[in-house]
Amino acid sequence: MKPLEWNWYIEYTSAHHGYLYAIKKTLFSDETPFQRVDIVDTFTYGRLLVLDGKTQSAEFDEHIYHEALVHPAAMLHNGPKEVMIMGGGEGAVLRELCRYPQLEQIVMVDIDSKVVQMCREHLPEWHQGAFEDSRVELLHQDARAYLEGTNRKFDIIYSDLTEPAEEGPSKLLFTKEFYKMVKTKLNPGGILAVQAGGFSLDYLTIHAAIRNTMELAFDSVRSYHTFIPSFDCSWGYIIAGVKPDQLAVGRAEIDRRLGAIAGQLKFYDGETHEGMFCLPKDVRRALQEDQTIIEDDKPVDF
């Protein structure tokens, strides 16, 4: 018989459930001082960046993940000039931000230089040369330490971090104390936009905890979501600092604000935006019922 593929990536979401992807080839596999890094080429979704056994983004649909993270905040802010990215090793948040000519400064702080180096080498479709943009400043240090030590303030801060696992490098970048500090680093009208975990009825714990925790620092916190094929799951994002009346923007206005950028985007536009901000009734209820808070002394072990 023709043999089935022999090399598989199984992403377990629990001891009882998971996803199977056949691997065509392993392009890179090593430990850095911070995490296990693998770049694998799969049959179904092309190349995948996998950190500590969890998919970060896939060639097939990273455009969904990254456009969904970047553009809502950019559209809802009233003219951003200086932005910061925490994490974002693939360089694709950079790529999306570089589309905006009005941005003057993009600071990216990713702790793991080896991850960034491997993404630059093996994932050119992700960054598309954005690391070379003259507005970009790339730093390799802990994002919390950077923010605590700087006098700079930003119009938008993006959190594109791995999940806050017990042992991972992002553990203290999702806490109450952290978000309160981040707020002081935003200019007036500033926005914090966070990739915020699975948004599925059976997998809401992380999202709910991040949201509850952000609400302790910010007045206005909103979840939005979209389905990402290679994650086999609906994915959640959270935006903080946008007033409710600012959010009441229709699809036509989004399309108008996008202007010339629209032609460069594959996923995001006015209709997509509108759909992402509609939450199903059962998920709304489940979010209301969850009370988990993440603190420096009480990091949640998901």
Instruction: Say if CB 50 and CB 12 are below 8 A apart.
Output: no
Asked whether position 35 contacts its own copies by CB under 8 A, the answer is no
Check the CA dihedral 146-148-149-150 and report its sign: positive
Asked whether position 201 contacts its own copies by CB under 8 A, the answer is yes
Asked whether position 12 contacts its own copies by CB under 8 A, the answer is yes
| Contact with its own copies (CB under 8 A) among 170, 175, 213, 234 | 234
| DSSP per position, 219-287 | S-EEEEEEEEGGGTEEEEEEEES--HHHH---HHHHHHHHGGGGGG-SS-SHHHHHHHT---HHHHHHH
Give the interface segment with its own copies, choosing from 127-135, 170-178, 185-193, 280-288 (CB under 8 A).
Answer: 280-288
DSSP-based three-state secondary structure for 67: helix
Minimum CB separation of residue 88 from its own copies in Å reads 22
**Those residues with Cβ within 8 angstroms of residue 83's Cβ, 6 or more apart along the chain or in another chain:** 97, 103, 105, 106, 107, 154, 155, 156, 157, 158
Pick the closer one to its own copies by CB: 118 or 157: 118
Give the interface segment with its own copies, choosing from 82-90, 213-221, 239-247, 266-274 (CB under 8 A).
Answer: 266-274
Rounded distance between C-alpha atoms, residue 7 and residue 229, angstroms: 20
Asked whether position 9 contacts its own copies by CB under 8 A, the answer is yes
**Going residue by residue from 57 to 86, which x/- string records binding to its own copies, judged by CB under 8 A?**
---xx-xx----------------------
**Those residues with Cβ within 8 angstroms of residue 117's Cβ, 6 or more apart along the chain or in another chain:** none
Asked whether position 290 contacts its own copies by CB under 8 A, the answer is no
Pick the closer one to its own copies by CB: 137 or 202: 202
Asked whether position 253 contacts its own copies by CB under 8 A, the answer is no
Catalytic-residue membership of 255: no
Asked whether position 200 contacts its own copies by CB under 8 A, the answer is yes
CA atoms within 13 A on the CB side of 57: 25
Minimum CB separation of residue 169 from its own copies in Å reads 16
Site for its own copies, residues 149 to 188, rule: CB under 8 A? none
Instruction: Say if CB 22 and CB 43 are below 8 A apart.
Output: yes
Rounded distance between C-alpha atoms, residue 248 and residue 239, angstroms: 14
| Contact with its own copies (CB under 8 A) among 81, 100, 257, 267 | 267
Q: What is the number of residues in the chain?
A: 302
Furthest C-alpha separation in the chain: 65
Q: Which positions touch its own copies (CB under 8 A)?
A: 1, 3-12, 14-23, 25-27, 29-30, 38, 42-45, 50, 52-54, 60-61, 63-64, 199-203, 226-227, 229-230, 232-234, 251, 265-269, 271-272, 274-276, 278-282, 284-285
Active site residues per annotation: 160
